Structure 1
Amino acid sequence: MNPAALGPLFLPLILLIAFAVHVAVMRRPRTREHVLTVACLWGLGLGVGVMELLAGLPHLTSPAFSAVQIGFAPSAFQWEVGWANLTFAVLGFLSLRFRSTDFWLATAIGYLVYFWGCGIGHIQQYVVEGNTAPYNWGPIVPVVFLLPLVLLVLVVALRRAQRHEHGVHEQPRETVPA
């Protein structure tokens, strides 16, 4: 396997380590709601924000290089894909500021739809075209399916934890604590 194919695994691994360290050193009580909040903050801020920034910039600044990594010919569509990636980067970073589970849920759902569509494209390229380029086939495939799903599950679990902690009939808080 091409070592470049392992690139998509590094940020999720860093994300898990950062989350574990954060939880280990936090002074607040480790309630289910607070741990889920920390997981969402790291997942959306680093997992979506940083990862999508790193995914989008090459499409905009060096399309020929990024096309080779995916196994495609350079295309004008990379401009649009780059901006789609950067849109999710902005949403990920804004999730650090706007701590509303409604905002987080919308971001997670959009990210899942976008990434699962990309993942289906990766599989189709592998099956139909035999495309084994490092950023089309390999570790990137489970990342594009699992990361958005895990983020969505975390946000939904946080909303449920908020409802449970604050009363079954109450709406979730508009914002979540740090």
Structure 2
Amino acid sequence: MGQESTPPTQQPEQAQPHQPQQQMYASPPTEYYAPPPGAYPPQAGYPPQAGYPPQAGYPPQAGYPPQAGYPPPGTVYAAPVGAPQQAYMAAPVGTQTVVVTHVDVKFKSIPIDCTCSHCGNRITTSTKYISGSMVWIAVLILIFIGCIFGCCLIPFAMDSLKDVIHKCPQCKHKLHRFDRLSGK
């Protein structure tokens, strides 16, 4: 009983030279990325360029001789034989050209930006919902299916069934009535 166990002696670690760690992934094989020899024809390349002609509309740069084979700048050519003559109409001096465009305005259920046809101001229309033919048709359908105890009056509370009146907010002129039944 008197035996004592001695712990194993640890030997000190010896310093080892630094070794790079191995990669965890393999590098891609190059045979998949390079085409096999002779798979494509050799590239011929572009022929050497002697010089570029000046672009049309730009004066040639000072200090350079004019290009051989090109006419000097400012040369006017005659129309080819048999070509139709182009007619040009010059505007008289002192007059002003006015272009009038008409945009077809689509009046729907929301206010729109337009020009008032009455006062000529650029406005956003004010809208008002009124009961129209679509509301009355919905009421008749509800009465027909048996909603006679007040439920048939629900369409009068729905703006999505009512017609829309568009007015000018400045001169209060009625511009358009959007009818839900016809969609106009």
Larger Cα Rg: Structure 1 or Structure 2? 2
Q: Which one has the bigger helix percentage?
A: 1
Higher relative contact order, structure no. (Cα contacts within 8 Å, ≥ 6 residues apart): 1
Same fold (TM over 0.5): no
Using structure 1 for the length normalisation, give the TM-score.
0.23
Using structure 2 for the length normalisation, give the TM-score.
0.22
